[in-house]
Amino acid sequence: MQLTDRINRIQISPTAAVLAEAEKLKAKGMDIADFGPGEPDFPTPDHIKKAAIRAIQEDKSKYTPAGGIMPLREAICAWHKRELHSSFEPWECVVSVGGKHSIFNVISVLIQRGDEVIIASPYWVSFPDIVKYAGGTPVFVGTNPEDGFTLRASVIEKAITPRTKLLIVNSPCNPTGGVVPPEEYERILAVCKKHNVWLMGDECYSHFTYEPNKPYSIASAPRAKDKVIIIGSMSKTFAMTGWRIGYTLGPEALIQALIKLQSQSTSNPTSVAQYAALEAMTGTMETVPAMLAEYAKRRKRIVEGLRAISGVTCEWPGGAFYAFPNISEHLSKVGGKQALAKSCTEISKMLLDKAHVAVVPGEAFGAPGYLRLSYATSIERIEEGLRRLERFFARAEAAA
């Protein structure tokens, strides 16, 4: 079939592919220790669910303005101001169908053929493909485990060319858990301003940071608003992945362009989900620290468990809910031993087929040698998964 060059430039999200494979096995009745999904295992809080039910009963089921209902745009700005110390006004805010849609739309209106977009690697799977779909060129800058996978201003400055239009910073980062410290983030912003490059801060995991890190937005820096675009989402913070509500905060001209694009594509995000999000932004936040405390326990268990496996190293993630172990020792011949496989993609397949453990291979994030394990799953499942991983790697070692 003759499809556009545009669609042929991108691939199906590799995380979606892993999820689909694990789901197939589960449907056959197999017990899978599933570290695949990047979504909270907690239910959406009750007060948010009730607000949605109320909206349905009150017939709030008509079209809304394409950029979202004004009370929600106001509430997002107020929430962001209170929680992350920014100063956006409702006309500097647009509501979209999840954070991914927000990112897709921002890149669609900012990036065209010839433009370069700097992305920190390891990266969230969708950034490079969205840039390619828009006709731009992703330019990768490395982060590394010795540095807690944080991004450095000096590294970014070296990657900037006259064609650089945008830098994407995802802090806390999926998949590494890396957090950019505020002082470094401000240095990064200064570099962007100096070279007239937009800085897009993806804050989807803003409220899942572990001590000593704290929730932080680059929008709180002095005079940040000239060059900063913020992406936020209800998905992780409020366990609302399926509701599909995200937002963009940025200069009014950009927001107007995003609303124009939505008016000719999706129209408004689902009306009922917008009322649920309005409750998330204005109601109690007590579920957020409760989830964070649970993630902190799981983080400790999974990192310690992974570190105990031979040939595996793992840094402490500073935020989000992913462990990102390096298993490259199992990919190379060492001490006369055979390599277990050629790639982490192969190892992931073996893990699913033989050990019934679902993980995402590092190649999906531009990080061969790594695996991503989401610990948004219960401690019991983490224990079971670790037992299976331990057995798998021990047997592989014995056979090598």
Cβ–Cβ < 8 Å for 321, 209: no
CB of 397 to ligand PLP, least distance (A): 33
CB of 15 to ligand PLP, least distance (A): 8
From 226, 234, 207, select the one nearest 99 (Cα to Cα): 234
Number of residues that bind ligand PLP (CB under 6 A): 13
Cβ–Cβ < 8 Å for 231, 102: yes
Pairwise CA distance, residues 20 & 344, whole Å: 18
Cβ–Cβ < 8 Å for 119, 131: yes
Pairwise CA distance, residues 235 & 66, whole Å: 20
CB of 123 to ligand PLP, least distance (A): 9
Q: Which is nearer to ligand PLP, 97 or 309 (CB)?
A: 97
- In this structure, what DSSP letter does residue 370 have? B
- Backbone φ, ψ for residue 219 (5° rounding): -65, -15
Q: Which is nearer to ligand PLP, 107 or 396 (CB)?
A: 107
Of positions 14, 36, 37, 38, contacts ligand PLP by CB under 6 A: 38
Locate the DSSP E strands across 292-370: 322-323, 357-358, 360-361
CB of 235 to ligand PLP, least distance (A): 3
Of positions 241, 256, 313, 345, contacts ligand PLP by CB under 6 A: 241
Q: How far does CA 226 lie from the centroid of its chain?
A: 24
Q: Binding to ligand PLP (CB under 6 A): which residues in 244-303?
A: 246
Sheet containing 246-249: order of strands: 93-96, 246-249, 228-233, 198-202, 164-170, 116-121, 137-142
Q: Which is nearer to ligand PLP, 64 or 170 (CB)?
A: 170
Q: Which is nearer to ligand PLP, 124 or 216 (CB)?
A: 124
CA-based torsion, 187, 188, 191, 196: positive or negative: negative
235 binds ligand PLP (CB under 6 A): yes
Of positions 143, 170, 274, 348, contacts ligand PLP by CB under 6 A: 170
Cβ–Cβ < 8 Å for 15, 38: yes
Q: Binding to ligand PLP (CB under 6 A): which residues in 203-222?
A: 204
Q: Which is nearer to ligand PLP, 64 or 235 (CB)?
A: 235
Core vs surface per residue 93-120: b (16+ CB within 10 A) or e: bbbbbbbbbbbbbbbbbbbeeebbbbbb
366 binds ligand PLP (CB under 6 A): no
CB of 236 to ligand PLP, least distance (A): 7
CB of 174 to ligand PLP, least distance (A): 4
Q: Binding to ligand PLP (CB under 6 A): which residues in 51-70?
A: none
Q: Which is nearer to ligand PLP, 44 or 235 (CB)?
A: 235
Q: Which is nearer to ligand PLP, 52 or 396 (CB)?
A: 52
CB of 394 to ligand PLP, least distance (A): 32
Which of 19-27, 96-104, 109-117, 270-278 is the region at the interface with ligand PLP (rule: CB under 6 A)?
Answer: 96-104
Of positions 99, 148, 317, 362, contacts ligand PLP by CB under 6 A: 99
DSSP string spanning 133-157?
HTT-EEEEEE--GGGTT---HHHHH
Q: Which is nearer to ligand PLP, 235 or 348 (CB)?
A: 235
Pairwise CA distance, residues 193 & 183, whole Å: 15
Which of 57-65, 79-87, 233-241, 388-396 is the region at the interface with ligand PLP (rule: CB under 6 A)?
Answer: 233-241
Between the two ends of the chain, the Cα-to-Cα distance in Å is 45
Which of 40-48, 97-105, 154-162, 189-197 is the region at the interface with ligand PLP (rule: CB under 6 A)?
Answer: 97-105
121 binds ligand PLP (CB under 6 A): no
Of positions 92, 116, 202, 315, contacts ligand PLP by CB under 6 A: 202
- In this structure, what DSSP letter does residue 273 have? H
The site for ligand PLP (CB under 6 A) is made up of 38, 98-100, 124, 170, 174, 202, 204, 233, 235, 241, 246
